[in-house]
């Protein structure tokens, strides 16, 4: 009899521990709805800022002239910017911002700027095609 009651007691302890551990996992969500909304809003704002940065870069008359000279359609580049995924867009926005700063500071020559702009314009179009 002692053996049966010990088994029953062990079974009850096992069942109780399983039931109580299930309650620990179901306590509360890790991210609240308001936190999720804020994250989505921040992501959308960041994306808009990045799209605007890249579009303004390619809309610059100097940049547009370079692309036209290289037979890259600036309107097409402007269109495909919004189709880039967030990671690609973030990288491109950072690069265009850095290029603008370097050129304004005199760190880039016109020839270097030309090569960089042509490469970026071609890369944007290739990213969308692939």
In the chain, domain spans: 36-129
CA-CA distance, 36 to 31, in Å (whole number)? 7
109 — phi, psi (to 5°)? Answer: -85, 170
And the tokens for 105?
A: 């500071």
pLDDT of residue 129: 73
Residue whose entry in the numeric block shows the structure tokens 């290289």: 70
pLDDT of residue 90: 94
Q: Could you tell me the pTM of the whole model?
A: 0.66
**Rounded mean pLDDT of the chain?**
81
Nearest partner of 98 among 116, 110, 119, 82, judged by Cα:
116
CB half-sphere exposure, 97, CA atoms < 13 A? 11
Compare 107 and 37 and report the one with higher pLDDT: 37
Least confident segment among 2-16, 47-61, 63-77, 82-96:
2-16
Using pLDDT thresholds of 50, 70 and 90, give the confidence band for residue 45.
very high
Percent of the chain with pLDDT over 70: 77
């Amino acid at each position: 009899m002692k053996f049966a009651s010990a088994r029953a007691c062990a079974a009850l302890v096992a069942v109780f521990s399983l039931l109580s551990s299930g309650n620990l996992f179901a306590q509360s969500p890790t991210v609240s709805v308001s936190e999720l909304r804020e994250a989505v809003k921040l992501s959308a704002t960041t994306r808009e800022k990045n799209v605007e940065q890249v579009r303004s870069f390619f809309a610059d008359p100097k940049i547009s002239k370079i692309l036209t000279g290289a037979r890259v359609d600036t309107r097409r580049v402007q269109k495909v910017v919004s189709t880039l995924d967030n990671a690609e867009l973030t990288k491109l926005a950072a690069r265009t911002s850095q290029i603008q700063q370097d050129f304004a500071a005199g760190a880039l020559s016109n020839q270097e700027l030309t090569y960089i702009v042509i490469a970026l314009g071609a890369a944007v179009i290739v990213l969308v095609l692939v």
